[in-house]
Structure 1
């Protein structure tokens, strides 16, 4: 997808005001910008508490730092003057304005960053800005999807970096980085969120079993200075590696494998080519934040509540996420990576790029539903207004080729039937919403409106349960019903918008399945899939 737009030097500013891991991930954005605009000067705005990242991202020329914590303290404490924070903000905006940026990109999608976008002058701005007093993204559907699914606890069909690149209209690639050094194995044993922790006791057992199986390798335990005392309860001083980010980055260049939770360190490792085995627990969603490196391996929790909401504490009596990933399974996955083995993959997942999309694939049993849904959402989000033609046939052929022998006829038939039922359910929902609209036009609509609204809610809940993997297509409809505004016309407007989105996605989805069915009957790839399934049926 890469392709330079021109050799003229530009000045580009990126607002990167999220957490440490996100700022480290934004190095990929800086590299993409360098490829897109050769010779351009790339500058970042960051929270000054993460200033240590400046040494990790050489692609950035100039750093503007916002003392957010100090400003918050000034605004909260009684003896402080709010005018001081206002003066500092005005000065910083003036300093940024003096740079005369050609392009400003908001990679933060927050209310604060949207207001900052309004204050900064530039020839062109892309990303979240304030529109009519609200955070808005008027540019494209990808931006809207990014805000809806990453500002809170929304689910996503796409990796954060893919969404960010597409929403900011920047070409990208997902690299396959591999360092050639085989120096050490590192264990990152803690994360910033207790729900994402696998447990020091499990890491201690894994440490011992790895040392016994690979006695020739150096195994070290990573931690921050703030975590060291806790880690010392399980590991000896000589096994603990407690260093700053720059020293850690240099060490990971020579490392053979990092075993970690969903942390900023996994992204640092992926960027320097260190192989990773990431354990995703709690609210950590591999689809959103897996390492940006093809071939990265992942073990996800198998508990029914995974992934949970980021803002909620664990609702279970015990940590089911951690319990669902035994030490033996992590050891087997690590051994397969270290010995370059491919058999017996069990619950392991791998980062891949298929049909120009970042994808997390279950190695034992690739999911047709997930692939079709990502494809349908991609076409929906990329569709230009008024454009009717979509290259669905070629994409369906690529999908069938990617899945190969994993393309199971029974799975296809079940998924196709579910998509057809979903379409019929949406048509019934459309009828109910029309009846709701008629209630608004009556002379005394309140009682009839409330009764019909309950019917719409019940029908939506039933449809959401029925369609399972397709339920995120109903997110806008469900959100409209939970808001329940007093203004009936606002509710109807939001319901119609949600229904329009769901119907368009359903139409694209059915077209993909129809093309797959046609390929199965007549195409060479389809005939081979059919033959493989027939052989499997005979063997069974």
Structure 2
């Protein structure tokens, strides 16, 4: 079997995809895996040992320069892409997987003569390939600044049915006294600041005198780093050398970089500083040994492709040296890492049931899901949050009822020759109430809001889109409420047995140490 994987993103994204590639290899141990990536990231070969059999390169930079060069033949770029497509089609791939999900990769996937295409591709003038709910969720949530309940790797693993692990380290790490700082990122909006990193270095060295602090950097970063660090503080290296340093480090402190993804796969503990366009809910280090410090600035996370609109770098200023050092201390001292909130775990459980439901071989068995959830979460803590959880469920249900109530009928819209905003003013007000409340943090009503914002040619289309969106919301809420009901039932049963209620007499019988004996005084026919 020959599998082609498309990964036409940046270096950090490719490194982040390593668990997916390893999972694909695990699932298809005898397959021949080919990876298509941009030529400028060819050095990633050295850190994907034993996972990919063959690398194929897309000359993106060369093609872009040619298209912008007035003296170049305008057809040259087209001819280069045509040659690549012909080469790919001649290799007889059995399956193609698109890990990129942008327009370029979709168009390229559309030209491939491969029967089994998985992920986004273009055909018949439209985008196709969103074959399950996980893929649609990924496509919806990762196209902008919408929040995601699931990590990038986790989502694609579910979407393509690829097993993934949080980190590859299976043996205990050697004790080390080396702390590494990765100070610079590919986007200055995500840079915490060299002066703050310099202060952090001094704080660690003063407070933890037996630890050595070194600064990782690429050769082109040396000049910038020397403004705040001495030459002896620097470890200027390429990717394979950085990997070796990470393997021997006790901790990495970093921004949103490709290095953090490499550290995650090695099993190096991480303190990640998420500022600027960095969105840890989607692309934080995929590791159980990572702590993320996220700015609380209202403008973050911002759009990756836009410059910072603020007069100062407010998101970086919001994260103090003391805050980062506190996380460093906790990691190095072995303090228990902060767990994700129980509310967030509940949301992930509900959405997992919803997203799994579209797969033919999966049914949302709420009792089983609830039992599994309670096995990994304390019942007492759950009881403390269920009141607020149920209150929010009721709020969602009220919003849904109101939206259905103010939605004009299809017949009303079908007879209209023109459309006025006033025709759906109550629906718009309903959506505004939801957005202003800021209570729909994980996007139950996102599809409803987007339906109102979509373009349409005829008034009746607004009914079709909004009605379909509200039905999706209703399905989600039904799953949420069913899951909650089973959680409450199972947790109450557990509480009864814990309090000894299971030892009370039942239907005229009293439990003794030897057996169940009839109690003549209480027995009834």
CA drift at 1:278 = 0.9
Q: Deviations over 1:172-221 (max 9, x none)?
A: 33336353251521101111222222221111111001112233332111
Cα 1:218/1:71, change in 2 over 3 Å: same
Q: Secondary structure at the match of 1:252?
A: helix
1:192 matches 2:165: no
1:283 to 277, 294, 317: 277
CA drift at 1:389 = 4.8
Cα 1:266/1:457, change in 2 over 3 Å: same
Alignment map for 1:65-80 (pairs within 5 Å):
65-80=57-72
CA drift at 1:526 = 9.6
CA drift at 1:436 = 5.2
Larger deviation: 331-340 or 10-19? 331-340
Alignment map for 1:14-413 (pairs within 5 Å):
14-58=5-49, 59-175=51-167, 177=169, 179-182=173-176, 184-342=178-336, 349=338, 361-362=339-340, 366-368=341-343, 370-384=344-358, 389-404=363-378, 407=381, 409-413=383-387
Q: Secondary structure at the match of 1:523?
A: helix
Q: Deviations over 1:393-434 (max 9, x none)?
A: 22223333433167254532112111122112112201222x
Cα 1:132/1:499, change in 2 over 3 Å: farther
1:489 matches 2:460: yes
1:480 matches 2:454: no
Which structure 2 segments of 5+ residues have no match?
500-525
Cα 1:24/1:259, change in 2 over 3 Å: same
TM-score by length of structure 2 reads 0.88
CA drift at 1:53 = 0.8
Contact conserved, 1:25 with 1:161, CA < 8 A, in 2? yes
Larger deviation: 294-303 or 308-317? 308-317
Contact conserved, 2:168 with 2:265, CA < 8 A, in 1? no
Alignment map for 1:425-464 (pairs within 5 Å):
425-433=399-407, 435=408, 437-442=410-415, 444=416, 446=418, 449-464=420-435
1:502 to 441, 448, 473: 473
CA drift at 1:232 = 1.3
Alpha-carbon distance in 2 for matches of 1:471, 1:150: 13
Cα 1:139/1:422, change in 2 over 3 Å: same
Contact conserved, 2:356 with 2:362, CA < 8 A, in 1? no
Contact conserved, 1:401 with 1:525, CA < 8 A, in 2? no
CA drift at 1:231 = 1.6
Alpha-carbon distance in 1 for matches of 2:263, 2:441: 34
Q: Secondary structure at the match of 1:82?
A: coil
Larger deviation: 170-179 or 69-78? 170-179
Alpha-carbon distance in 1 for matches of 2:361, 2:401: 23
Alpha-carbon distance in 2 for matches of 1:452, 1:308: 34
RMSD: 2.4
Partner of 1:5: none
TM-score by length of structure 1 reads 0.86
Cα 1:387/1:441, change in 2 over 3 Å: farther
Alpha-carbon distance in 2 for matches of 1:335, 1:525: 42
CA drift at 1:163 = 1.1
Alpha-carbon distance in 1 for matches of 2:152, 2:258: 14
Q: Deviations over 1:85-119 (max 9, x none)?
A: 22221222222222211211111111111111122
Q: Deviations over 1:279-306 (max 9, x none)?
A: 1112212221122222222222233443
Contact conserved, 1:153 with 1:310, CA < 8 A, in 2? no
Q: Secondary structure at the match of 1:496?
A: helix
Contact conserved, 2:6 with 2:99, CA < 8 A, in 1? yes
Q: Deviations over 1:456-509 (max 9, x none)?
A: 111111133346145511112212222343432333222122212111111111
Q: Secondary structure at the match of 2:412?
A: helix
Partner of 2:510: none
Q: Deviations over 1:25-49 (max 9, x none)?
A: 1221211011101122211000001
Contact conserved, 2:168 with 2:266, CA < 8 A, in 1? no
Partner of 1:7: none
Q: Secondary structure at the match of 2:149?
A: coil
Larger deviation: 502-511 or 482-491? 482-491
CA drift at 1:63 = 0.8
Alpha-carbon distance in 2 for matches of 1:235, 1:381: 49
Cα 1:69/1:421, change in 2 over 3 Å: same
Q: Secondary structure at the match of 2:167?
A: coil
CA drift at 1:157 = 1.1
Cα 1:15/1:261, change in 2 over 3 Å: same
Cα 1:406/1:278, change in 2 over 3 Å: farther
Structure having the higher Rg: 2
Q: Secondary structure at the match of 1:468?
A: coil
Q: Secondary structure at the match of 2:444?
A: helix
Larger deviation: 406-415 or 158-167? 406-415
Larger deviation: 481-490 or 197-206? 481-490
CA drift at 1:332 = 2.1
Contact conserved, 1:373 with 1:470, CA < 8 A, in 2? no
Contact conserved, 1:521 with 1:527, CA < 8 A, in 2? no
Contact conserved, 2:38 with 2:60, CA < 8 A, in 1? yes
Alpha-carbon distance in 1 for matches of 2:217, 2:378: 42
